[in-house]
Amino acid sequence: MPPRFSIAQDRKLIQIVDRALEEVTRKSGAHLVCRLGCTPCCIGVFAINQLDADRLRRGLQELEKKDPERAAAIRQRSEDSVRRLTPDFPGDPVTGVLHETAMAKELFEDFANDEACPVLDPDTGTCDLYKSRPMTCRVFGPPVRSPGGLGVCELCYHGATDEEIAACELIPDPDGVEDALLAALEKKTGRSGDTIIAFCLAE
């Protein structure tokens, strides 16, 4: 049985991932070129789970208290994005949850690849919810293993050997804490299934 979800547990997960990222950043040195204002990875939609979505919503609520104008701009960009994406969205446009059929997954591969993330500030090129960003954003850049092998940001590790890249592999959650927290959150809220950032924040 999964543990009960708590924000404190989610913060511990983020600390684990951030510590792993700090170590890999140290090992990578000049090979990891991700810097403030580098935004190619902020273009094109990608799936996020309900734990990511919950973290983003909490981050937006906190921003609304500190800087309501910036928060309102995020909501507006999210709503505008949802309007653009709804006609071809391979999921339920009411809930924002992606369908899980093979056809829907195939459609998602080519879906909205030119759509900017609504959390990206178009003037500064920075993430307005950086501390609450999804796990995909948090671990992007260093080598991360997937079913297709060890993938890296296309802008990073130029000139590095396969051995050098492998030595910098990021293992963000070795104990599977995220999966347990996700299961607990879905049980608590009744929300399940992947979504995208625009639908998450346009609610």
State the SS3 of the chain.
CCCCCCHHHHHHHHHHHHHHHHHHHHHHHHHCCCCCCCCHHHECCCCECHHHHHHHHHHHHHHHHHCHHHHHHHHHHHHHHHHHHHHHCCECCCCCCECCCHHHHHHHHCCCCCCECCCECCCCCCECCHHHCCHHHHHCCCCEEECCEEECCCCCCCCCCHHHHHHCCCCCCCCCHHHHHHHHHHHHHCCCCCECHHHHHCC
Range of the domain at 76: 7-201
Q: 60 lies in a domain?
A: yes
Of all residues in the chain, the percent with pLDDT exceeding 70 is 99
Q: 35 lies in a domain?
A: yes
pLDDT tens, 2-31?
A: 567 899 999 999 999 999 999 999 999 999
Q: 102 lies in a domain?
A: yes
Q: 2 lies in a domain?
A: no
Tally of domains in the chain = 1
Q: 31 lies in a domain?
A: yes
pTM for the whole thing? 0.92
Q: What's the confidence (pLDDT) of residue 1? A: 52
Q: 67 lies in a domain?
A: yes
